[in-house]
Amino acid sequence: MTARVLDGVPIANAIRAEVAVRAKGYEAKGRRPGLAVVIVGENPASQVYVKAKGKACDEAGMHSETVRLPDNATEADLLKVVERLNNDPKIHGFLVQLPLPGHINSERVLNAINPAKDADGFHPVNVGKLSIGDPTALKPATPFGVQQMLVRSNIETRGANAVIVGRSNIVGKPMASLLIQPGKGGDATVTVCHSKSKDLPAICRSADILVVAIGKPEFVTADMVRPGAVVIDVGINRVDDASQAKGYRIVGDVAYKPVAEVASAITPVPGGVGRMTIAMLLQNTLQAFEQAGG
Nearest Cα residue to 95 out of 108, 113, 83, 77: 113
Whole-number Cα distances in Å, 187 to 126, 158, 221, 226, 232: 20, 5, 27, 21, 18
How, if at all, do strands 237-240 and 248-251 pair? antiparallel
ω before 99 within 30° of 0 (cis)?
Answer: yes
Nearest Cα residue to 118 out of 294, 281, 290: 281
Residue type (1 letter), 65: E
Name, in order, each residue with C-beta under 8 angstroms of 120's C-beta and a sequence gap of 6 or more: 95, 110, 138, 140, 141, 281, 284
Whole-number Cα distances in Å, 247 to 42, 158, 244, 267: 22, 43, 5, 24
List active site positions: 53, 97, 120
Phi and psi angles of residue 137, each rounded to the nearest 5 degrees, phi first:
-60, 140
